[in-house]
Amino acid sequence: MIENPSDRLCIDTIRTLAMDAVQKANSGHPGTPMALAPVSYTLWKQFLKYHPEHPDWPNRDRFVLSVGHASMLLYSLLHLAGVTEIDADGKPSGKPAVSLDDIRQFRQLDSKTPGHPEYRLTSGVETTTGPLGQGCGNSVGMAMAERWLAQHFNRDDAKIFDYKVYVLCGDGDMMEGVSNEAASLAGHLKLSNLCWIYDNNTISIEGHTELAFSDDVAMRFRGLGWNTLHVADANDTAALAAAIEAFNQTTDKPTLIVVDSVIGYGSPNKHNTAAAHGEPLGVDEIKLTKKAYGWPEDSSFLVPEAARHVLRDAMAEHAKPAYDDWQKALEQLQSSEPALYDELQRMRAGQMPQAWAQSELSFEPNAKGIATREAGGKVLNAFAQQLPWLIGGSADLSPSTKTNLTFEGAGSFQAKSYGGRNLHFGVREHVMGSIANGLALSYLRPYTSTFLVFSDYMKPPIRLAAIMELPVIFVFTHDSIGVGEDGPTHQPIEHLAMLRGIPGLITLRPGDANEAAEAWKLALSLTRQPACIVLTRQPLPTLDRSRYAAASGLARGGYVLADADGGKPEVILIGTGSEVSLCIEAHEQLKAAGIRSRVVSLPSWELFEQQDAAYREQVLPPSVTGRVAVEQAGPLGWDRYVGISGAKLVMTSFGASAPLAKLQARFGFTVDNLVKLATEQASKTK
């Protein structure tokens, strides 16, 4: 079935490298790389538009290994293709992206070949995969990005973007719900630039997939609006090439190619081998398998000289003309539309437009105020007009989250209008996050929105955005028991603690309209960090900033909003979000009672912890032990700010269904109760 001797040599090199690397590490998955070596090799050699010397070429085809446990497949391909490393400054280092020594260090500390592929760590890895289904979701974002970029940049005589997105996925991906969300939206959007290659090997860790999975996958995808093709043998490279050719001819829908394979192909024990269960094959079985390949049985990490240039040369040969044409198109764009060319260069570099922040809004003092979701929507629209590649949407909730872009020309991203900037994800929170990561991996600045309680559905992509250092903005509204009558199912309690627990994520819970404006400004200024902006449903007073400190203090995470007159405070009230105004009301009553209090707005714990010790102690003096934390969320983490003896006015249970005022009374979020707690705490400082 693999008729060309040089192709067979390269394919067997990929297989044996996987076996040897997993055996040396005594950890990993050799079976899938062995089975899919002909599939991936055929795709890369004959079809993938990818220049090995320019792996950051914006118009390259994307290859996503959603079966991230098969990482050795990708590392072997990158090695044989001779892909060049791009350093941290975005420049070619002159080194290989993956050397043979790197492969020998598979799964070892500080190696470029970790157990699952990691974006930024290894050049040529398009996205961090491992949690099954996430690569599928990312790929839809990448395909959507190509459609948007093409609409925005392409001209009749100059094509800047026309890449395709290929995904290798498996049974585990198909079982995870996020892949179905992704496939459903991709079918609806008719993303004909997207091709998933499904490794139908019928094996999972527990055994045969018939234990838990009997879907007719092809039929399901046809129902989702996909073109489906079948290759009966993963080793039939001619049939696979014909299927990919059919994908390239399809113009009205995405394509699924179902490929039947035998995991650990060539291993004498086949499905009984440890290859099916993520373990090394063992020295004896490796020798037998190599013998079956006609490979030197005692060799280790062998890359025959004849295999070293086949894939690299083939890829360079068919990518070079496309790359040269793209360079000419780019030069033409620079000459004819320099402003648009500047946009593209800034997008690639992760830079903002000049003077983008001049559109920042400010809000006048208002005792009645507005909800921070309302303020956030106004600020978003102002910034979006200055940032053309800021696009996003909600999981069917934009009327509630106020994240719809309403200015002229914003439009909706749909199958017949790919240039729209409002994305409609439907009720698909999980894949919304995964798609946003794919968009961010493709030079766009995406945002998403839903209710805070539904961040539960989005934890995996938020976590991966933090791991990949992607500047995605996740907007969450309806942030507390302020949701009121919707009840405990919709009233978030533990969710802020979850978000604050994700390393690298900036969580912002602004206390009024002007803090909401500062939160958006801060989030958009991040270039290698995701942010969550957490907003209220209910109106909050817009504070008089001539009387209280400027909202720009949000940039430091926490700041003194209101202070005691004429001396050290006796008690510090620390609040976030909707509870900041409650702290201000209590502060005024304490002042009237002769008790010196300080109000600290703490919208971002992460940013506050980044400040130096002197600043943190200036805001929260250690000598003032009387403290009250006020937040309509769970208590986890507040001890670090109030200490063992401080008070916490927080939620220790789920909420209830009732009007907001009655909920506040039930759970103690009243001025009288806060003044009582603060008075008790002040006595400790005295």
CB atoms within 10 A of CB 216: 9
CB 510 within 8 A of CB 535: yes
Q: Dihedrals φ, ψ of 628, to 5°?
A: -135, 125
Alpha carbon distance 369, 6 (integer Å): 72
Phi-psi group of 192: left, alpha or beta (phi > 0 → left; psi -120 to 50 → alpha; rest → beta): alpha
Query: Taking Cα atoms as reference points, which of 95, 96, 86, 121 lies closest to residue 107?
Result: 121
Q: Dihedrals φ, ψ of 5, to 5°?
A: -60, -40
Query: pLDDT tens digits for 103-146?
Result: 999 999 999 999 999 999 999 999 999 999 999 999 999 999 99
Helix (H) or strand (E) holding 629: strand 627-630
Query: pLDDT tens digits for 191-249?
Result: 999 999 999 988 888 888 888 989 999 999 999 999 999 999 999 999 999 999 999 99
First to last CA, the chain: 86
Q: List the alpha helices (DSSP H) in 190-252.
A: 217-223, 237-249
Q: Dihedrals φ, ψ of 73, to 5°?
A: -60, -50
Question: Is residue 367 exposed (0-12), middle (13-18) or buried (19+ Cβ within 10 Å)?
Answer: exposed
Find the length of the chain: 686
CB 39 within 8 A of CB 142: no
Over range 651-672, report the average pLDDT. 97
Query: pLDDT tens digits for 343-397?
Result: 999 999 999 998 898 777 899 999 999 999 999 999 999 999 999 999 999 999 9
Q: Which pLDDT score is estimated for 276?
A: 54
Q: Which pLDDT score is estimated for 521?
A: 97
CATH class name, domain 356-541: alpha beta
Cα distances (Å, whole numbers) of residue 259 to 239, 491, 503: 10, 45, 38
Q: Is the model's pLDDT at 89 over the cut of 90? A: no
Q: Which pLDDT score is estimated for 277?
A: 55
Share of the chain above pLDDT 90, in %: 92
CB 370 within 8 A of CB 513: yes
3-state class (DSSP) for residue 363:
coil
- The CATH number that domain 555-685 falls under is 3.40.50.920
Over range 508-517, report the average pLDDT. 98
Domain with CATH 3.40.50.920 in the chain: 555-685
3-state class (DSSP) for residue 207:
strand
- Whether 429 is catalytic: yes
Using DSSP bridges, classify how beta strands 255-260 and 531-534 pair: parallel, antiparallel or unpaired.
unpaired
Q: Of the listed 85, 429, 515, 518, which one is catalytic?
A: 429
Q: Which pLDDT score is estimated for 204?
A: 82
Q: Is the model's pLDDT at 270 over the cut of 60? A: no
Question: Which 8-state DSSP code applies to residue 61?
Answer: P
Q: Dihedrals φ, ψ of 427, to 5°?
A: -80, 75
Query: pLDDT tens digits for 18-64?
Result: 999 999 999 999 999 999 999 999 999 999 999 999 999 999 999 99
Alpha carbon distance 173, 438 (integer Å): 17
Lowest mean pLDDT among 164-168, 287-291, 510-514: 287-291
Judge if pTM exceeds 0.95: yes
Domain with CATH 3.40.50.970 in the chain: 5-321, 356-541
Query: pLDDT tens digits for 139-183?
Result: 999 999 999 999 999 998 889 999 999 999 999 999 999 999 999
Q: Which pLDDT score is estimated for 272?
A: 43
Question: Which 8-state DSSP code applies to residue 155?
Answer: B
Pair of tokens at residue 368: 């009645």
Cα-to-chain-centroid distance, residue 501 = 16
CATH class name, domain 5-321: alpha beta
E strands within 13-68? 62-65
Cα distances (Å, whole numbers) of residue 432 to 106, 179, 447, 463, 686: 32, 11, 10, 14, 52
Cα distances (Å, whole numbers) of residue 343 to 158, 358, 386, 390, 443: 16, 18, 11, 12, 11
CB 393 within 8 A of CB 422: yes
Alpha carbon distance 269, 622 (integer Å): 67
CB atoms within 10 A of CB 26: 9
Lowest mean pLDDT among 70-74, 305-309, 359-363, 643-647: 359-363
Q: What is the mean pLDDT of the chain?
A: 95
Alpha carbon distance 651, 669 (integer Å): 10
With cut-offs at 50, 70 and 90, classify the pLDDT of residue 269: low
Query: pLDDT tens digits for 600-628?
Result: 999 999 999 999 999 999 999 999 999 99
Q: Is the model's pLDDT at 573 over the cut of 70? A: yes
Give the strands of the sheet with 571-575, arranged side by side.
559-562, 597-601, 571-575, 627-630, 647-649
With cut-offs at 50, 70 and 90, classify the pLDDT of residue 686: low
Cα distances (Å, whole numbers) of residue 646 to 410, 587, 629, 652: 49, 17, 8, 16
Alpha carbon distance 374, 565 (integer Å): 34
Query: pLDDT tens digits for 298-309?
Result: 999 999 999 999
